[in-house]
Amino acid sequence: MIQLKKIALALALTLSTLCVPAFAEEATKNTGLTDTITHVEEALAEIKKSDFSAARLHLKAARTSAATVAGNEAVIKEATNGVIQSQISANTGDVEKASAQLTKALDLFKSL
C-alpha cells in the first residue's frame, strides 16, 4: 500500500511538472497577442490624428510583438502583412489607406 502511494505521488509530481510549462507558454502567447492588438489600436489612433511619427513607433512594436503570437499561421501572416502595408502607407502620408489596412489587421489579430 505504501508503494502504491509513492507511485501515485511520483506520477502526480511528474504530470504537474509537464503541465506548468504549457500554462506558461500559453500565457506568453496571450501576452504577445494582447501587446500586438494594443500597439495596432494605438497606431490606428495616431494615424487618424495624422501623427505619423508616433504611429511608426507603434507599428514597429506591433510587428515585433506579432512575431511572438502563436495560432493560425495564415491569419498571423496576413495580419502582419497588413501592418507592414500600413507602415508603407503611413510613410507616404496616405491616412485612409493606412487606416483601412490597420483596421483589417486589427480584426484579424482579434480573431485569434
Q: What is the pLDDT of residue 112?
A: 86
Instruction: Output the CA angle 20-26-30, nearest 5 degrees.
Output: 145
CATH class of 2-111: mainly alpha
Q: What is the pLDDT of residue 57?
A: 95
3-state DSSP of the chain: CHHHHHHHHHHHHHHHHHHHHHHHHHHHHHHHHHHHHHHHHHHHHHHHCCCHHHHHHHHHHHHHHHCCCCCCHHHHHHHHHHHHHHHHHHHHCCHHHHHHHHHHHHHHHHHC
Instruction: Output the CA angle 108-109-111, nearest 5 degrees.
Output: 65
Residue pLDDT, tens place only, 13-69? 555 555 555 544 554 457 889 999 999 999 999 999 999 999 999 999 999 999 999
pLDDT grade for 85, boundaries at 50, 70 and 90: very high
Q: How far apart are CA 83 and CA 61, in angstroms?
A: 10
Cell of 76: 498571423
Number of other CB atoms surrounding residue 65 within 10 Å: 19
